[in-house]
Structure 1
Amino acid sequence: MSDGEDDRYRAPALDKGLDILELLAGVDGGLTQAEISKKLNRSPNEFYRMLDRLVRRGYITRIDGDRYSLTLKLFGLAQLHAPTRRLAAYATPLMRDLAQRTRQANQLAVFDRGSAVVIAQQEAPDYWGISIRVGSHISLFDTGSGHVLLAFRPPEEREMMISEHVKSRKDIELTPEFYARLDEIRARGYEMMASAQTAGVFNLSAPILGPDRRGIAALTVPYISLVNAPSAPDISTTISLLQKTAEQLSLLAGSDVQHEVPVET
């Protein structure tokens, strides 16, 4: 395509927005409007309306009053595109094997725009089991999947995730105890908690780690005690099987990290 054809199809406003996003993607700590205009060699007034729209659409956010930083919205959109479909495809046979070994259902969730989203799920092989519909949006604050997705992210990313979630949940009150729990989960390597939605269910969740050691997904077994199933593994063994499956998926995702942590009951 010639330069003349390039100019004919230009979209200045779109270019300006993309310039801002690409600039902020390579900066830690954000930039002020004046700093953005200086780095892009334009007048500060050119960016006021564009910055306002990007904030309102959730692509960037204000920090420290006058600085702009990327949110995780672009990351969330990318998570639901091809990489997520590939992850779900790779996970399916391993999740099926996990269901057979544990006699429990399991599901895989990723972070997307303020929630944990179920991208794959495997039914329990027997009559009883807890399943969640693929595509369901679940809370970051009171589910095992949400806790793991938060626990295995760097503090700055974690705060962005929480900020996006709180926008739709005005009743959330964050406490030092909640952050301490996330640290415990990270140190232990998994989450085990009574379900806040269903009595008698324990959410067992382990992270899928990417090449940069960040949690990219959470694998969860909604564990129920099975009556008249003497061969079904107990909760301790189920946690161990869950962690081994999460390690296999982490290796497929390019991570060299394995969860060598003691199993607790």
Structure 2
Amino acid sequence: MNDLDRDRYRAPALDKGLDILELLAGVDGGLSQAEIAKRLERSPNEFYRMLDRLVRRGYVARLEGDRYLLTLKLFGLAQMHAPTRRLASFATPLMRKLGETTQQANHIVVYDRGHPVVIAQQEAPGYWGISIRVGSRMGLFDTGSGHVLLAFRSPELRAMMVAEHVGSGGPEGRMTETFEARLEQIRQRGYEMMPSAQTAGVINLSAPIVSADGTAIAALTVPYITLINTPGAADIDTTILSLCETAKRLSDLAGAGIVSDALPD
């Protein structure tokens, strides 16, 4: 589709509403109507009716002092998306068992429009654990989940993922020969093990949940911490074994067609 075709099918009102939602998603504390207009380089009067509709539909909340804040309605709609909801539903009991076996937290990540995104989270059963909030967006190049999602995709899909990630404002990264070799190592051993780039003392352990053709649908990740004086806590080697076994069981479900359509386009 060329530029003329794109202009022909423009929907200015829809674009305006989406611009507001995307802007508010990136700020804390909300913005006034004047601030929204300034950041979007338009007149404040252009946004009055649109903001009113977004408030009435529940996507935006109006605070005292004429400030507008994004609500959780979009997040709720995302959780209603059938494939990811089904994947999370089938995974929950297996994630719970993995947590009990290892005494560690774990979470599931899928790739969505430029970023790995957490769709399910299981807390550690004891007092200590590292939790990642559902809905969190991650980097491709600096997380175990991102490495696994890249490693178990075709070169063509990898290139698309990298381009989308960088284009959507993700941390810079390139598919160098060294990084390609690391991804091949992950494919060979079946999991990633790397120090967290975000939290000191955490080792990210991540294994793929794959469809019948071996393509990664998701990554199952344990942010492993060394637990001291914790009865039943598994060492890192045992945790890796339990992680890979759980990912294999979820992959078997995917291969049976139960959750295979959870892979985003």
Q: How does 1:37-48 map to 2 (within 5 A)?
A: 48=3
Q: Secondary structure at the match of 1:101?
A: helix
2:4 aligned partner, one-letter code: R
Q: Pairwise mapping of residues 218-233 of structure 1 onto structure 2 (< 5 A)?
A: 218-233=219-234
Counterpart for residue 236 of structure 1: 237
Q: Within 1, Cα distance between the matches of 2:135 and 2:97?
A: 22
Provide the rounded CA distance (Å) in 2 between the counterparts of 1:84 and 1:117: 11
Give the whole-Å Cα distance in 2 for the aligned partners of 1:128 and 1:143. Answer: 21
Q: How does 1:192-231 map to 2 (within 5 A)?
A: 192-231=193-232
Aligned to 1:183: 184
Instruction: Name the counterpart of 2:163.
Output: 163
1:255 to partner: Cα distance: 5.8
What do you get for the CA RMSD once the two structures are aligned? 2.5
Q: State the partner residue of 2:126.
A: 126
Cα-to-partner distance string for 1:137-196 (whole Å, 9 max, x where unaligned): 011110000000000001100110011011113643442211111111011100000000
Please state how far the C-alpha of 1:79 moved relative to its aligned partner: 10
**Displacement of 1:92 after TM fit?**
0.4
User: How many Å separate the matches in 2 of 1:128 and 1:200?
Assistant: 13
**1:212: how far off?**
2.6
Query: Residue type matched to 2:249 in 1?
Result: Q
Q: Give me the whole-angstrom Cα distance separating, in 1, the residues matched to 2:112 and 2:198.
A: 21
Q: Which residue of 2 aligns with 1:114?
A: 114
Q: How does 1:29-178 map to 2 (within 5 A)?
A: 48-50=3-5, 81-167=81-167, 168-169=169-170, 171-178=172-179
Alignment match, 1:21: none
| Structure 1 residues 86 and 215: alpha-carbon distance in aligned structure 2, compared to 1, 3 A threshold | same
Q: Distance in 2 between matches of 1:194 and 1:123?
A: 20
- What is the alpha-carbon distance in structure 2 between the residues aligned to residue 103 and residue 171 of structure 1? 34
TM-score, length basis structure 2: 0.66
Q: How many residue pairs are counted as aligned between the two chains?
A: 190
Task: Tell me the distance in 2 between the aligned counterparts of 1:52 and 1:141.
Answer: 35
- Would you say 1:247 and 2:248 are equivalent positions? yes
Shift of 1:84: 1.0
- Do 1:118 and 1:132's aligned partners in 2 also have CA atoms closer than 8 Å? yes
Give the gaps of 5 or more residues in structure 1. Answer: 1-32, 34-46, 58-77, 257-265
SS at match of 2:255: coil
Superposition TM-score, scaled by structure 1 size: 0.66
What is the CA deviation profile of residues 190-231 of structure 1, one whole-angstrom value per residue up to 9, with x for unaligned ones? 000000000110000000001232100000000000011253
In the alignment, the residues of structure 2 paired with residue 147 and residue 164 of structure 1 have an alpha-carbon distance, to the nearest angstrom, of 15
Distance 1:228 1:171, change over 3 A: same
Conservation of the 8 A alpha-carbon contact between 1:107 and 1:121:
yes
CA contact (8 A) 1:79 1:110 kept: no
Distance 1:160 1:154 in 2: 10
